[in-house]
Amino acid sequence: MRIFTAVLATETNTFSPICVDRRAFEASLYAPPGKHPGTPTLCSAPITVGRRLAAERGFDLIEGTAAWADPAGLVNRLTYEGLRDEILGQLRAALPVDAVVLGLHGAMVADGYEDAEGDFLAHVRTIVGPNILVCAELDPHSHLTAKRQAAADFFVYFKEFPHTDFVDRAEDLWRIALGTLDGRLKPVMSAFDCRMIDVYPTSREPMRSFVDRIMRIEAEDPDILSISVVHGFMAGDVPEMGTKMAVVTDGKPEKGNALARELGLELFARRGTFIMPQIDEKEAVSRALSATGGPVVIADVWDNPGGGTAGDATVLLAELLAQDAKNVAVGTIWDPMAVQICMAAGEGAEIQLRFGAKSAPGTGNPVDDTVRIIKLVRNAEMRFGQSQVPFGDAAHIRLDGIDIILNSTRAQSFDPSLFSVMGIDPTSKSILVIKSTNHFHAAFAPIASEILYCSAGTPYPNDPARTDYRRAPRDIWPMVDDPHGMEPAASSTRR
């Protein structure tokens, strides 16, 4: 048995000013065939899990290129086409194969390709023909389009947000794929359009109970192979943006359609109740300063590089300085030029430095002040579950009692190791400021006395009802109050 696997993934915020070229993939993950490290990145677990299963079961795993870029704006056309064609060429060279198992994100938009994954999968299907299994693991912050449903047999999405389960879902993907190749399973994918867009953290109710319920259904009903909530990605201005339910059954399309609709309408009935309560920067800093224990974690939720923003906003830092906060650590502010200046000056130097707020309106103002350079690290990395996440050359600087990490490769704040690798003990700080919407929660919650979700500035299009969409649907909630007052969108199936 011969199975081809590869990865092509990034998350595209179509409102972000930061374009993605090949260097962005090389900075995050670019691994030619057979060169993928032993630990997975967010979207490359199909490769590492596949390696283990190939060794255990004795099938041939043919690895293609694995390419992942941290979320940003539009992908350069030549970059997308080059990486796509590189993998497609490897697939052609590998023929004949019994299956294609991919790691994708699901929210990639390239210049000229609104549905990059749909385009990629359609090419894969053309190469292998109609009878070869094609499947993929995807991030739920993505777009489930008709084109990609037509090209693939089934998809499995991460269930958790924060995405702590990407390896577990790769195991599910391979379980279904190998069961299909063994002749034991006949996967059929059903989908339901919830006609809404929202944010669904599984670290709090009501999404926690909803995900627990769908996992119980999977465990108890042998007809149900996988259930996924495709959250959608509100910063992707594309025609099929929105939340979907995806159900994979063992040859039971009618049952899958009914379950997807039932769960989708249940999700819709709870619209507007999922997202974390947020406060502005003034209240966040005041509450953190009045806390009796520490560290208080303030999450700068909308300047999140994991959602495609620059991660260089200074709104929260300016408020910390205004309120004379001390014993604070900020991780991170993206500013490659400032990092380069710090690297040239060296550890221990005291220099005049301008940093931050260079990317876009709504990110605050650059900081101009005298800073001391505490620690410099080349090619710094932090942990995220079983993976290592690079945040590039980095500088730990100190300004008026505040420790600040400047980084050169954009990355959200996943784990306290972000601070410790830069010489900061996060548990000793009164306040930690991080840039992440919710992926930080699993790692930071154990050390935090309190977590505050802060909406500071406007670096991200976080209000769909007011976002200036040009291509996204306007007949979904919250753009309209009750889209299901009309005839609900029909379920769709393949095989």
Residue 333 pLDDT > 60? yes
If asked whether residues 249 and 289 sit together in one domain, one would say no
* 462 falls within a domain: no
Among 220, 241, 270, where does a domain finish? 270
Percent of the chain with pLDDT over 70: 98
Q: Is 423 left (phi over 0), alpha (psi -120 to 50) or beta?
A: left
Residue 117 pLDDT > 90? yes
pLDDT for the residue numbered 144? 98
Residue 429 pLDDT > 60? yes
Average pLDDT over residues 299-321: 97
If asked whether residues 92 and 192 sit together in one domain, one would say yes
Among 250, 270, 290, where does a domain finish? 270
Percent of the chain with pLDDT over 90: 96
pLDDT in tens, 349-406: 999 999 999 998 899 999 999 999 999 999 999 999 888 999 999 999 999 999 999 9
* 7 falls within a domain: yes
CA angle 237, 143, 436 (to 5 degrees): 75
Residue 256 pLDDT > 80? yes
pLDDT for the residue numbered 492? 44
393 in Cβ contact with 380 (< 8 Å)? yes
If asked whether residues 219 and 359 sit together in one domain, one would say no
Per-residue b or e along 460-478, where b marks 16 or more CB atoms closer than 10 Å to that residue's CB: bbbebeebebeebbeebbe
pLDDT band at 294 (very low <50, low <70, confident <90, very high): confident
If asked whether residues 30 and 158 sit together in one domain, one would say yes
If asked whether residues 256 and 135 sit together in one domain, one would say yes
Rounded-to-integer distance, Cα 387 and Cα 166, Å: 10
Rounded-to-integer distance, Cα 428 and Cα 233, Å: 36
pLDDT band at 485 (very low <50, low <70, confident <90, very high): confident
Residue 490 pLDDT > 60? no
* β-sheet with 492-494: strand ranges across: 224-230, 244-250, 187-193, 492-494
pLDDT for the residue numbered 161? 97
354 in Cβ contact with 342 (< 8 Å)? no
pLDDT for the residue numbered 491? 43
* 113 falls within a domain: yes
Q: How many CA atoms lie within 13 A of 108 on its CB side?
A: 35
Average pLDDT over residues 420-439: 97
Show the domain range for 349. 281-454
If asked whether residues 252 and 357 sit together in one domain, one would say no
List, in sequence order, every beta strand (DSSP E) within 47-153.
Answer: 60-68, 99-104, 133-138
25 in Cβ contact with 79 (< 8 Å)? yes
Rounded-to-integer distance, Cα 243 and Cα 234, Å: 9
Rounded-to-integer distance, Cα 158 and Cα 184, Å: 24
* Tokens of residue 407, six digits: 């980084």
Return the axis-axis angle of helices 166-181 and 45-57, rounded to nearest 10°.
Answer: 50
* 21 falls within a domain: yes
Average pLDDT over residues 450-479: 95
If asked whether residues 293 and 264 sit together in one domain, one would say no
pLDDT for the residue numbered 31? 98
* 483 falls within a domain: no
If asked whether residues 196 and 287 sit together in one domain, one would say no
If asked whether residues 42 and 191 sit together in one domain, one would say yes
* 170 falls within a domain: yes
pLDDT for the residue numbered 385? 86
Rounded-to-integer distance, Cα 303 and Cα 412, Å: 9
Closest CA to 10 of 168, 117, 162, 85: 117
The count of residues in the chain is 495
Residue 105 pLDDT > 90? yes
Per-residue b or e along 382-401, where b marks 16 or more CB atoms closer than 10 Å to that residue's CB: bbbbebebbbbbbbbbebee
As for how many domains the chain has, the answer is 2
Rounded-to-integer distance, Cα 130 and Cα 339, Å: 51
CA angle 307, 455, 271 (to 5 degrees): 75
If asked whether residues 117 and 12 sit together in one domain, one would say yes
Among 225, 248, 270, where does a domain finish? 270
Q: Within the chain, what is the greatest distance between any pair of CA atoms?
A: 68
Lowest mean pLDDT among 43-52, 338-347, 479-488: 479-488
* 66 falls within a domain: yes
CB neighbour class for 151 (10 Å; exposed up to 12, middle 13-18, buried from 19): buried
Average pLDDT over residues 285-295: 95
pLDDT for the residue numbered 21? 98
User: What are the backbone dihedrals phi and psi of residue 466, each rounded to the nearest 5 degrees, phi first?
Assistant: -115, -5
First to last CA, the chain: 22
Average pLDDT over residues 210-226: 98
pLDDT for the residue numbered 488? 47
pLDDT for the residue numbered 467? 95
* 479 falls within a domain: no
pLDDT for the residue numbered 489? 46
* Tokens of residue 265, six digits: 């309408």
Mean pLDDT of all residues belonging to the chain? 96
If asked whether residues 301 and 199 sit together in one domain, one would say no
pLDDT for the residue numbered 48? 98
If asked whether residues 266 and 288 sit together in one domain, one would say no
Average pLDDT over residues 152-163: 98
